[in-house]
Structure 1
Amino acid sequence: MLLNSNQIQQIIPHRFPMLLVDQIFELEPGVSATGLKNVTANEPFFQGHFPQEHVMPGVLIIEALAQVGAVALLSLEENKGKIAYFGGIKSAKFKRKVIPGDTLTLKTEIIKSRGSVGVGSATAYVGDEIAATAELTFAIG
């Protein structure tokens, strides 16, 4: 493990219940990051999504991927202490349900960067199966 949740919170501003990354195990600042989210039945969103069948909301999977991308971008010395905001989401696709007991592997690679704007190619996996993919645009402020 490269970064635990306490260390992640030193890089990005997210806190419970919005911190959706438990650890970062690969990091190349400004280029890419890979992290994990252990999905448990204790997640607050499962109270309403859905009480009869717990399924992690797709938008939260995308948020978790964005947080991993934010760790990659905000790990650069010139970005320390800043915030990475969503600038856009393109081509989001959801391939499988994510349920309690799953471990999400979250990979985001920065594929374009100009000034304070970056674009990341993001993929979430459960085991070897793709759970979600998207292209994420970030604005650093």
Structure 2
Amino acid sequence: MTPDTCFIVFLSYFLSSITMIYSLYLTLPQFALDLKYIGVPLFLLGITGNSYHHCLLSKLRKNQSDGYKIPSGGLFGLVVCPHYLFEILGFVGVTFIAQTPYSLATTLGTISYLMGRSYATRKWYLSQFKDFPRERKALIPYIF
């Protein structure tokens, strides 16, 4: 993906989330505990980190004849799928902002799916690259 494409994807996710959150704000009652002030920074951190790591991945494929490579830069030195980690943070941020069962269910489903994908991706890297660092985790630095 080129930087302008990354920006368009970022803008699309951002505007979709803001629109959903605003429509929920108009239709749902206010909660005693307002988690927007935690959710907005989490969402922004998540969408920014996700976009950044996707841009790093896109640079790996500039020359298609090179085959697969081990990603580097950003959090790729610690985990195989940092873009999934930041995507999860974005969903958690939206859940904190919306505070609805629907957003919580969506986030839990997304976490489950991306955990499985990151585990399978790490397993694939270990099988394809003999020099792949075994201490590199799948999704969460130093933990999983």
Larger gyration radius, structure 1 or structure 2: 2
Higher strand share: 1
Higher helix share: 2
Q: TM-score, normalised by structure 1?
A: 0.27
Q: TM-score, normalised by structure 2?
A: 0.26
